[in-house]
């Protein structure tokens, strides 16, 4: 006899170690004996019959009696070990094991074995977890949560005695689900009550509720088998030939059968999944369909929100006879494409199909995107909406339709005669919590197609990233697409699991925005960014530091995420490098100088010019054209520098347009799309108060004092205070000194030398005294470095052009200060 553990009350008639082996072995043995006896009996009786020809004596043997008895014993044993389903009266006592499934009892006894082997005095949750080791569902759950088994067992080892809490939870789950307690109930009990496991999950930002849903998800996926919808028998079942209703009362519908798909049949063979998260909308649609009059429903929602899943759910409910008034009905999806491709006139087919659907008496017709249908006219000039209307009016057709809000307003709601037949059901975009459930269901097909396992972090990343970066479609569709692509990416890399990094890689390649953790190359780039910019950008160290620091804060996640990476106002005289810094930033961090979106604000001096920024609104009756210059540019390149040049020249109302962008990183265009600016750096430049800056520099005023005075002056004269306040940094660009201009000249000459070598294969040498001369000629405190470019063009490039004309075989040119003089 083994002493019971303190917290279980169980004792054993045999040594605990042997109990499980004996039980499993003897059950298996009994099965084999029963099977063997049955086969031997059949064989013996058959042989006797063949020998004697008398079936009565063949069967009338003691062997048959023993076989019959063994079968009874085996069936009884099955009944005893199967366990009972717990009820609300079930209490935890020494008989609680009979409410476990056989598999659950296996786990429990294995845990007891482990506890007694380790000389434990109580049964801990870590013993239960260790006993779950061989369970596929448990391992699947850990894989989806990306947890290692040893970490999980260690985390719960210090929990203390939570056995009764776990058992109480497991029992409550069994009662609630009316099932015997099994592995998932024990695991869910541990997740709920283990503080150690909660802490481990919290490290990976997984809540207890999410972990519990993953257990449920793993349990569902375990039993997943894709429906086989292929040609042959299944295809024959799908094709509308057998569309007679059970009571033989509905009229035949030959044309409709040919140009439609029976959704109720699809539901029957299992290709339509229940829209678990859309039950409210499905119930609302069912209530409408069950009415006596005005019993057609129209589902209104943006593309991708799941309108068709609601239709599928209705088909399932009809199939399961959950709608008494629609018993023996069928939901049929009209195949408009097939009709258009038929030899017969589309108008005739459409008219016939709708009449048949109306006259059959048991058909609900589904037409998707009804807006497109009602606006179309046939080649003969017939209005399809008119045909539909007459079917609804005269024949009592019952329909479900789907439409986007725009199409509904334009093609149904504004047509009173059509609108009165439909009752609208609004299908809104799913929130992230419900989208997670949809993705868990969709993950089954993704896993099957790509041979990978989808993790919880991948699903969460797909939802978060699709919400953040994809604005032209809706949840759950956009997250499903992203997850599917991540599955392809993971399979391509040979990975067994789809993780958040695969989703982020796909998102990065789509939007060119760096998503996810910093790579080693990105870390180096950020570390050396200031130096890289200063290779080609001279002076203005405070401005360079300010901008680079903002980038570092944003990329490392230190800054809040719901505004642009950085917003800066560059102030200074003309030609000091304000625009040049923006270009260098675009080149060094964003990868390409062309990834700079530049708006010359002097073109926006009227109020109406705001429409060029976010798009003109639709004139009544027309469709609005695509968004504005800025919104379209940011939509296509969300990761870029946005440069608002000479911002002081813009109309004050235009500045108000940017308030929301600077504060919250978003702007709504004329089509109602929200454009995300949170991956842009916004730089506004201004020459306002340039004279003050020059005087301040000359009088050697401290930088901070100069900047503060400048801001006061700008608020008083040029910009509203709320506009200035929204910038992360107001950076003053000082006039260039002659020494700095000389450095600028060197950089420009270097660029010219590389250009000439590349284009003309000519080596250009410019002596140091020539560079100094250029700097002297190109220096003008009022115009900054701009004259230098003109001087280089006139003195060097012209000189070079003349030399190339004079000498065809020119391969080397040297420019000295003498070549630059006016004589």
Partner 1 sequence: MINIFLTPLQELTQFLYWWVIFVPRRLFGWVYDSILAMDEVLVLGETFRLWIAIEPLFGDYGWQGRIIGFLFRFFRVLISLGIYFGILIVGLFCTVVWLVWPVLAILLILQIW
- Going by C-alpha positions, the residue among 709, 697, 765, 695 that lies closest to residue 737 is 697
CB of 85 to partner 1, least distance (A): 13
Q: Report in angstroms how near the CB of residue 69 gets to partner 1 at its nearest.
A: 4
Candidates 14, 55, 79, 235; binder of partner 1 (CB under 8 A) is 79
Q: 419, 412 in Cβ contact below 8 A? A: yes
**In this chain, which stretch among 242-250, 292-300, 303-311, 538-546 interacts with partner 1, using CB under 8 A?**
242-250
Of 84 and 793, CB closest to partner 1: 84
Binding to partner 1, residues 347-406 (CB under 8 A): 359-361
Q: Which of 1, 50, 150, 247 binds partner 1 (CB under 8 A)?
A: 247
* Smallest distance from partner 1 to CB 111, Å: 26
Structure tokens at 658: 């940017």
Determine the interface stretch with partner 1 among 241-249, 461-469, 612-620, 724-732 (rule: CB under 8 A).
Answer: 241-249
Task: Give the span between the Cα atoms of 95 and 175, in whole angstroms.
Answer: 16
Question: 290-304: b or e for each residue (b if 16 or more CB lie within 10 Å)?
Answer: eeeeebbbbbbbbeb
Q: Is residue 516 involved in binding partner 1 (CB under 8 A)?
A: no
* 34/443 with CB nearer partner 1: 34
Q: What whole-number distance in Å separates Cα of residue 183 and Cα of residue 186?
A: 5
Among 87, 249, 280, 674, binds partner 1 (CB under 8 A): 249
Written as six digits, the tokens of 470 are 């994809």
Nearer to partner 1, 98 or 276 (CB): 98
- Cα–Cα distance measured from residue 627 to residue 613, given in angstroms and rounded to the nearest whole number: 8
Answer for which of 14, 22, 55, 76 binds partner 1 (CB under 8 A) is: 76
Query: Which span sits near partner 1 by CB under 8 A: 244-252, 566-574, 648-656, 792-800?
Result: 244-252
Burial of 112 (0-12, 13-18, 19+ CB in 10 A): buried
Question: Phi/psi of residue 302, each to 5°?
Answer: -65, 155
Whether the CA torsion 57, 63, 69, 71 is positive or negative: it is negative
Please, which of residues 126-145 interact with partner 1 by CB under 8 A?
A: none
Which residue among 248, 293, 699, 805 contacts partner 1 (CB under 8 A)? 248
Quote the least distance from Cβ 34 to partner 1, whole Å: 13
Burial class (CB in 10 A: 0-12, 13-18, 19+), 122: middle
Q: With beta carbons less than 8 A apart as the criterion, state whether 481 and 472 touch.
A: no
Angle, helix 690-698 to helix 703-717, in steps of 10 degrees: 160
DSSP 8-state symbol, 795: I
Write out the binding residues for partner 1, residues 16-75 only, by CB under 8 A: 60-62, 64-66, 68-69, 72, 75
Instruction: Candidates 17-25, 101-109, 245-253, 548-556: pick the segment binding partner 1 (CB under 8 A).
Output: 245-253
CB 394 to partner 1: min, Å = 17
Q: Which is nearer to partner 1, 249 or 814 (CB)?
A: 249
Q: Collect all residues with Cβ–Cβ distance below 8 Å to 202 and sequence separation of at least 6.
A: none
Nearest Cα residue to 512 out of 446, 580, 594:
594
Q: How near is the Cβ of 50 to partner 1 at its closest, in Å?
A: 21
Of 256 and 500, which CB lies nearer to partner 1 in the complex structure? 256
Full DSSP string of 543-600: HHHHHHHHHHHHHTT-S-SSS-SEEEEEE--TTSSHHHHHHHHHHHTSS-TTSEEEEE
Of the two residues 77 and 382, which places its CB atom closer to partner 1 in the complex? 77
781 touches partner 1 (CB under 8 A): no
Closer residue to partner 1 in complex, CB, 249/322: 249
Cβ 13 to partner 1, closest distance in Å? 11
**What are the C-alpha distances in Å from 586 to residues 449, 533, 567, 594?**
40, 10, 14, 7
For residue 49, the minimal CB distance to partner 1 (Å) is 16
675 sits in which H/E element: strand 674-676
At its nearest, how many Å lie between partner 1 and the CB of residue 248?
6
**The one among 29, 43, 252, 341 contacting partner 1 by CB under 8 A:** 252
Among 251, 492, 636, 755, binds partner 1 (CB under 8 A): 251
Q: How many CB atoms lie within 10 A of CB 494?
A: 7
Residue 228 or 244: the one with the smaller Cβ distance to partner 1 is 244
The residue range among 240-248, 282-290, 563-571, 789-797 that interacts with partner 1, by the rule CB under 8 A, is 240-248
Backbone angles phi, psi at 325, to 5 degrees: -75, -10
The position carrying tokens 């099955």 is: 78
Nearer to partner 1, 68 or 209 (CB): 68
The distance of closest approach from Cβ of residue 224 to partner 1 in the complex, given in angstroms and rounded to an integer, is: 25
Give the residue from 77, 195, 224 showing the smallest Cα distance to 125. 195
Nearest approach in angstroms of CB 324 to partner 1 is 12
Least separation in angstroms between CB 71 and partner 1:
8
- Judged by CB under 8 A, the number of residues near partner 1 is 26
Separation between Cα atoms, residue 367 and residue 386, nearest integer Å: 15
SS3 334: strand
Residues 561-620 that bind partner 1 (CB under 8 A): none
Q: Does 328 bind partner 1 (CB under 8 A)?
A: yes
Q: How long is the chain?
A: 823
Start-end of H helices in 378-537: 384-394, 405-407, 416-419, 432-450, 456-469, 477-492, 500-511, 520-527, 529-536
Which of 361, 546 has the CB closer to partner 1? 361
- Kindly tell me which of 327 and 409 has the beta carbon lying closer to partner 1: 327
Shortest distance, CB of residue 106 to partner 1, whole angstroms?
Answer: 22
- Torsion angle of the four alpha carbons 607, 610, 616, 617, in this order, in degrees rounded to the nearest 10: -70
Q: Which is nearer to partner 1, 327 or 793 (CB)?
A: 327
Give bridge partners of residue 424 from the DSSP assignment: 298
Minimal distance in Å, beta carbon 357 to partner 1?
13
- The minimum distance between CB 64 and partner 1, in angstroms, equals 5
DSSP three-state, residue 729 = strand
Interface pick for partner 1 out of 119, 230, 246, 758 (rule CB under 8 A): 246
Binding site for partner 1 (CB under 8 A): 60-62, 64-66, 68-69, 72, 75-76, 79-80, 244, 246-252, 327-328, 359-361
């Amino acid at each position: 006899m083994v002493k019971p553990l303190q917290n279980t009350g169980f004792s054993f008639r045999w040594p605990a170690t042997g109990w499980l082996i004996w039980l499993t072995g003897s059950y298996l043995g009994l099965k084999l004996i029963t099977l063997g006896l049955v086969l031997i009996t059949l064989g013996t009786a058959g042989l006797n019959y063949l020998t004697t020809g008398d079936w009565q004596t063949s069967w009338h043997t003691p062997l048959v009696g023993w076989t019959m008895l063994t079968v009874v014993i085996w069936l009884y044993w099955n009944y005893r070990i199967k366990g009972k389903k717990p009820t609300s009266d079930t209490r935890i006592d020494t008989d609680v094991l009979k409410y476990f499934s056989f598999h659950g009892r296996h786990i429990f006894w294995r845990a007891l074995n482990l506890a007694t082997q380790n000389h434990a005095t109580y049964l801990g949750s870590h013993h239960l977890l260790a006993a779950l080791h061989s369970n596929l569902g448990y391992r699947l759950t850990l894989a989806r949560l990306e947890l290692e088994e040893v970490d999980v067992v260690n985390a719960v080892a210090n929990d203390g005695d939570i056995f009764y809490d776990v058992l109480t939870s497991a029992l409550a789950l069994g009662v609630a689900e009316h099932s015997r307690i099994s592995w998932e109930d024990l695991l869910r009990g541990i997740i709920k009550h283990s503080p150690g496991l909660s802490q481990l999950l919290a490290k990976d930002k997984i809540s207890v509720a999410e972990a519990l849903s993953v257990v449920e998800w793993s349990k569902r996926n375990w039993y997943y088998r894709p429906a086989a919808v292929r040609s042959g028998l299944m295809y024959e079942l799908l094709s509308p030939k057998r569309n007679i209703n059970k009571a033989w009362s509905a009229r035949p519908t030959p044309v409709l059968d040919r140009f439609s798909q029976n959704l109720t049949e699809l539901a029957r063979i299992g290709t339509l999944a229940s829209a678990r998260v859309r039950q409210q909308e499905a119930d609302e649609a069912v209530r409408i369909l069950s009415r006596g009059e005005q019993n057609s429903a129209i589902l209104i929602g943006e593309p991708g929100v799941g309108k068709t899943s609601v239709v599928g759910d209705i088909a399932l409910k009809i199939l399961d006879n959950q709608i008494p008034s629609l018993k023996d009905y069928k939901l049929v999806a009209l195949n408009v494409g097939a009709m258009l491709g038929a030899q017969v006139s589309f108008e005739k087919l459409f008219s016939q199909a709708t009449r048949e659907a109306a006259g059959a008496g048991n058909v609900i017709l589904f037409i998707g995107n009804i807006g497109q249908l009602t606006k179309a006219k046939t080649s003969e000039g017939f209005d399809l909406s008119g045909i539909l209307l007459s079917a609804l009016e005269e024949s009592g057709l019952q329909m479900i339709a789907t439409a986007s809000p725009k199409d509904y307003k334009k093609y149904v709601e504004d047509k009173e005669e059509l609108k009165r037949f439909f009752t609208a059901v609004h299908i809104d975009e799913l929130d992230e919590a419900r989208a997670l459930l949809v993705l868990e269901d969709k993950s089954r097909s993704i896993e099957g197609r790509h041979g990978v396992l989808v993790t919880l972090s991948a699903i969460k990343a797909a939802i978060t990233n699709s919400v953040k970066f994809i604005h032209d479609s809706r949840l759950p569709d956009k997250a499903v697409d992203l997850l599917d692509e991540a599955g392809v990416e993971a399979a391509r890399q040979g990975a067994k699991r789809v993780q958040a990094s695969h989703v982020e890689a796909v998102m990065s390649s789509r939007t060119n925005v760096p998503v996810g953790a910093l790579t080693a190359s990105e870390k180096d780039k950020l570390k050396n960014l200031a130096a890289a910019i200063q290779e080609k950008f001279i002076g203005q160290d405070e401005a360079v530091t300010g901008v680079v620091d903002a980038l570092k804060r944003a990329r490392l996640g230190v800054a809040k995420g719901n505004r642009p990476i950085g917003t800066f106002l560059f102030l200074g005289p003309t030609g000091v490098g304000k625009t040049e810094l923006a270009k260098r930033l675009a080149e060094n961090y964003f990868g390409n100088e062309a990834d700079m979106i530049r708006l010359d604000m002097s073109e926006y001096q009227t109020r109406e010019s705001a429409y060029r920024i976010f798009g003109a609104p639709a004139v009544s009756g027309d469709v609005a054209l695509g968004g504005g210059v800025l919104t379209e540019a940011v939509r296509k390149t969300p990761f870029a520098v946005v440069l608002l040049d000479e911002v002081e020249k813009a109309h004050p109302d235009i500045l108000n347009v940017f308030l929301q962008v600077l504060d919250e990183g978003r702007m709504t265009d004329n089509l109602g799309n929200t454009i995300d600016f949170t991956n842009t750096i916004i730089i506004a430049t201004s020459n306002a108060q340039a004279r003050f800056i020059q005087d301040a520099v000359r009088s050697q005023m401290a930088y901070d004092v100069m900047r503060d005075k400048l801001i006061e002056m700008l608020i008083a004269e040029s910009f509203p205070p709320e506009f200035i306040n929204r910038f992360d940094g107001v950076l003053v660009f000082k006039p260039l000194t002659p020494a700095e201009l000389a450095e600028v000249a060197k950089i420009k000459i270097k660029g010219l030398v590389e250009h000439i070598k590349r284009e003309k294969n000519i080596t250009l040498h410019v002596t140091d005294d020539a560079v100094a001369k250029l700097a002297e000629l190109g220096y003008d405190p009022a115009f900054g470095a701009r004259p230098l470019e003109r001087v280089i063009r006139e003195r060097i490039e012209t000189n070079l052009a003349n030399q190339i004309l004079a000498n065809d075989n020119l391969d080397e040119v040297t420019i000295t200060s003498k070549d630059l003089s006016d004589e």
